[in-house]
Amino acid sequence: MGTDKKTLIVFSGDLDRAIAAFVIANGAAAMGDEVTMFFTFWGLSILRKPRRGKVRHPGQSRLQAMFGRLMPSGPDKLRLSQLNFAGMGAPMLRTVMRQKNVASLQSLMATAKEQGIKLLACTMSMDVMGFGPEDLIDGVEFVGVASYLGEADEANVNLFI
């Protein structure tokens, strides 16, 4: 079996879709594939560091600061796309995953890094949302849609999540 390549566009910032994205990505990497994940729009939430207070960045507009406050910061804060129950759904899913010994999103993300999965953040979305490189976790590359398309051209499976 030769090495294939896979790409995933992670547009959604929902916990359930983020888990699905990393399960697929890690599964492919475990089978020897090169995997690239391109995070855009709400998907950037997954890569955000926990926030330190409500400080507005210099150069961030008021609207950008509002998006920044309202978008979740990192895997601990993500919500569900369904059955959200005013925020109770995500903790329920986290609990039941722990009960069944299924890896958490945090540990799926750590595995992804260990397996050398490429994490790309969409610079256009970062610009719109007012996120700088310092807002995202380490090990992320900052690229435009052309870089994603270059990777997708070489891949045999490309998904939009």
Nearest-approach distance from CB 138 to its own copies, in angstroms: 25
Question: CB-side exposure of 35: number of CA atoms within 13 Å?
Answer: 26
**CB 129 within 8 Å of CB 64:** yes
CA distance 151 to 141: 13
What are phi and psi for residue 14, nearest 5 degrees? -80, 145
Contact assessment for residue 22 and residue 30, using Cβ atoms and an 8 Å cutoff = no
**Nearer of residues 81 and 140 to its own copies, judged by Cβ:** 81
Which residues, numbered 97-156, are part of the site for its own copies (CB under 8 A)? 97, 99-100, 102, 124, 127-130, 144-146, 148-149, 152-153, 155-156
Among 76, 96, 114, 133, binds its own copies (CB under 8 A): 96
CB 81 within 8 A of CB 75: no
Which residue's CB is nearer to its own copies, number 142 or number 160? 160
Closest to 120 measured CA to CA, from 89, 144, 154: 144
Q: Which of 83, 87, 106, 132 binds its own copies (CB under 8 A)?
A: 83
Give the residues lining the site for its own copies (CB under 8 A): 4, 9, 11, 13, 16-17, 20, 23-24, 27-28, 30-31, 33, 40-42, 61, 63-64, 66-67, 70-71, 81-83, 92-93, 95-97, 99-100, 102, 124, 127-130, 144-146, 148-149, 152-153, 155-161
